[in-house]
Copies of this chain bind each other. A is one copy, B any other.
Amino acid sequence: MSLPALHDLEVSIPGIRIDTDPETLKMYARDQGPVQELIDPLAVVWAESVADVQETLRWASRTGTAVVPRGAGTGVSGGAHATRNCIILSLEKMNRILDIRPGDELAVVEAGVVNADLNDAVTPYGLMYAPDPASYKISTIGGNVATNAGGLRCAKYGVTRDSVLALDVVLADGTLIHTGHQSFKGVAGYDLTGLFTGSEGTLGIVVGVTVRLRYLPSDVRTVAAFFPDFRTAAAGVLAVGAARVQPSIMELLDGATMAALDGAHGSDLGSRGGALLLIQTDGFGAEAEAAAVRAVLTELGGTVSSEGSEEAERLLELRRHSRGDDVEHEIRVGEDVAVPRSQLVHYVAELERMAADHRVQLKVVAHAGDGNLHPTFWIASEEGAGGVERLNAALDESITIALRMGGTITGEHGVGQFKLRWLPQEQQAEVLALQQQIKAVFDPAGILNPGKAIPEV
């Protein structure tokens, strides 16, 4: 980009912060997803208002500049990676909670509001914003909307889409539109709110979100059950379902994950079993549901935590950290497939076989209530190119098998840049073409987060 073009943007929006410092560009060049090719953005621009976003997009349309919107940059699919000749449009300064309406059980926020901050703000009203991706302490509502983020509690409360009532979106040409409704129900016109949710900033830039709030549960119970192996623990998931208990959280950890936690936190999970099932129930029936859970899991041979749920809660807190940070001297790749629930155990058996076949390490945690798995494959860095090849082969196979079982390549992280290569395996050519045509309706010049979410034409 020419300096005059950036200067033009500065003139268009007096006082806007634009940074081209190499350190800054480096820091904003990527999110937490795997990087195939690290590209620095031309500049980072911080919008402080809807008008700033509109003006920036008008400028981008004029100059043909690609715009990569960014919340907290906590995505793990590369949806916020910089692409060639792009600016990063950060929404992190648009962090005002605009309205909390307890009687209507909704809140209106700017896109840059941090998930946990919204929850802190509505807790005094006895309300909560339910979607809780692992990154909830730092990720933004706008980013959550862009990826249609899931989390632990979505077993009962659904994903981000299920808590979004209305959106304010700036289109590629700078037009501000409003979608959805401030009532819980509404079917006027096509579901543009749903279309934008999960579209990773490729159709428009979400600047405001009206969210539905849920009731802070009157009671919460947590149950931990150790099982000798993953297979039995997965059977526990189905048994809880068969008991017609709908937990708010149902997390499944394999032995390798437990060992990793033991290593990181000094716990002794590994000595207590080969797999761990963590279940939380909430609401007026929490105690009765927990009792039913304890009964069916004990029946299955699980070692179930005693009545009090303190230890189980501690374990759940540990689990929230189980994806872990990058590990030195290792190359790690996390996955995010989802399969029909009954396939959980078969899928993990296949994962174990693949890890052996391809000589890579494996650990698995699953949002088992949703059939959503996060396997992590890794090799030692010293294994070099051959190791990376084996790692990729394992990854590719893990996708193929998930699809064969009726699953999806991404349960909650989004396609971003990283999973694009697998999308045509999941979706037929006609479906991909329709999405490209929809993209062309919203963004004819292709300036909005190009090369993300769907294949480019």
Residues of A within 8 A of B (CB): 101, 103-106, 126, 147-148, 150, 154, 158-159, 161-162, 171, 175, 177-179, 181-192, 194-195, 197-199, 203, 214-218, 238, 241-242, 244-246, 283-286, 288-289, 292, 338-343, 367, 369-372, 406-415, 419, 423, 426-428, 430-432, 434-435, 437-438, 441-442, 453-454
Chain B contacts for A370, CB-based, 8 A: 183-185
Q: Are A187 and B413 in contact (CB under 8 A)?
A: yes
Chain B contacts for A288, CB-based, 8 A: 284-285
CA distance A253 to B270 in the complex (A): 58
- Closest chain-B Cβ to A442's Cβ sits at a distance in Å of 7
Known: A189-B453, A191-B197, A414-B187. A177 touches B430 (CB 8 A): yes
Q: Are A190 and B411 in contact (CB under 8 A)?
A: no
Known: A284-B292, A434-B192, A441-B434. A185 touches B423 (CB 8 A): no
CA distance A194 to B162 in the complex (A): 11
Q: Are B189 and A284 in contact (CB under 8 A)?
A: no
Chain B contacts for A148, CB-based, 8 A: 187, 191
CA distance A300 to B104 in the complex (A): 20
Q: Are B437 and A441 in contact (CB under 8 A)?
A: yes
CA distance A419 to B154 in the complex (A): 35
Q: Are B340 and A101 in contact (CB under 8 A)?
A: yes
Chain B contacts for A175, CB-based, 8 A: 430
Q: Are A342 and B189 in contact (CB under 8 A)?
A: no
Residue A285 contacts which of B183, B186, B285 (CB distance < 8 angstroms)?
Answer: B285
Q: Are B407 and A183 in contact (CB under 8 A)?
A: yes
CB-defined A-B contacts under 8 Å, sample of 26: A101-B342, A106-B340, A150-B185, A158-B162, A161-B191, A162-B162, A182-B406, A183-B411, A185-B367, A186-B338, A186-B411, A187-B408, A187-B410, A188-B409, A188-B423, A188-B427, A189-B415, A189-B431, A189-B432, A189-B454, A190-B195, A190-B453, A215-B241, A215-B245, A284-B288, A284-B292
Q: Are B438 and A408 in contact (CB under 8 A)?
A: no
Residue on B nearest A160 in the bound complex, by CB: B187
Residue A340 contacts which of B183, B284, B431, B454 (CB distance < 8 angstroms)?
Answer: B183
Residue A190 contacts which of B184, B289, B454 (CB distance < 8 angstroms)?
Answer: B454
Given A105-B341, A147-B187, A437-B441, 17 more pairs with CB closer than 8 A = A104-B342, A126-B244, A159-B187, A161-B194, A183-B341, A183-B407, A185-B371, A185-B372, A187-B410, A187-B411, A187-B415, A189-B427, A190-B199, A215-B244, A217-B244, A218-B244, A438-B438
